[in-house]
Amino acid sequence: MKYSPALAATCFALILWQTVVTLTGLPKFILPGPALVAQTWWENRAVIAEHTLVTGLEVVIGLVIGALLGVATAIQLATSRMARVLVQPLLVFTQALPVFALAPILTLWLGFGLWSKIAMAVLIIYFPVTSAFFDGLMRTPQGYLDLARSMQATPARVLWHIRVPAALPSLGSGLRLAAVYAPIGAVIGEWVGASRGLGYLMLLANGRAKTDLMFAAMLTLGVLSVVLHLAVGYLTRNMGRKGQ
């Protein structure tokens, strides 16, 4: 029963898509129907699966590295006033820069392989994880801190036994957001320069006017993002229980 809303929304989107195609009479190279896209996906499933594995690997590695860096940065900001004075303004400033414009530079520095795409994913998800976890660390219930102070707990014990567990739900929110953003970074990196991945496949299909294949690759990317979001959501729910 809990999957009924998602199934209903999917059916509604497919019906709406087919209705638009039927009523407008647009040619297939402009807007293919869902049946044609499904047929193309099945005919090219081996190729799509190969590119999906590449993009999935980039996304997962980028998500892990970005999450670890974000957690480490948030802890440093929460425990060091000097870090908040020096580092936090820089983090905010970096968000004013167009991260997408950094993709060509990262490709120049790291090459056309996996690491330039992983770096893009890291850059996109790093700030949301850092910001969410830092906010959670700074919002520890005052009663917990007063109790720890009365028991003469050391700052390290307060951090690892009180502040971090209490901030896990906030970290979970940041990770769920990162799971949605990470594929965007990987695909943008593939658009700039790659020979594998769903982003590369979309560009290749677009250049050859194979709009149905481009839609198939794009929908596969969407499914990958949803699966990743659900997996991270499952992990974060467990973290939330530990933090309670």
Whether pLDDT at 28 is above 90: no
Nearest CA-CA partner of 69 in 137, 132, 126: 126
Nearest CA-CA partner of 127 in 91, 75, 181: 91
Mean pLDDT confidence for 84-97: 82
Determine how many CB atoms are found less than 10 A away from the CB of residue 179: 25
Two tokens, residue 66: 């970005």
Determine how many CB atoms are found less than 10 A away from the CB of residue 64: 14
Is pLDDT larger for residue 24 or for residue 42? 42
Q: CA dihedral defined by 89, 95, 98, 102, rounded to 10 degrees?
A: 80
Whether pLDDT at 137 is above 60: yes
In eight-state DSSP terms, residue 196 is: S
Residues belonging to the chain: 244
pLDDT value of position 65:
96
- 242: confidence class by pLDDT, cuts 50, 70, 90: low
Tell me what the pLDDT averaged over the chain comes to.
88
Nearest CA-CA partner of 78 in 166, 143, 149: 166
Whether pLDDT at 5 is above 90: no
At 95-107, the pLDDT tens digits run 777 777 888 888 8
Mean pLDDT confidence for 69-90: 90
How far apart are alpha carbons 219 and 230 in whole angstroms?
Answer: 17
CATH class of 32-243: mainly alpha
Instruction: Give the list of residues 6+ apart from residue 183 with CB closer than 8 angstroms, or none.
Output: 55, 59, 121, 221, 224, 225, 228
SS3 203: helix
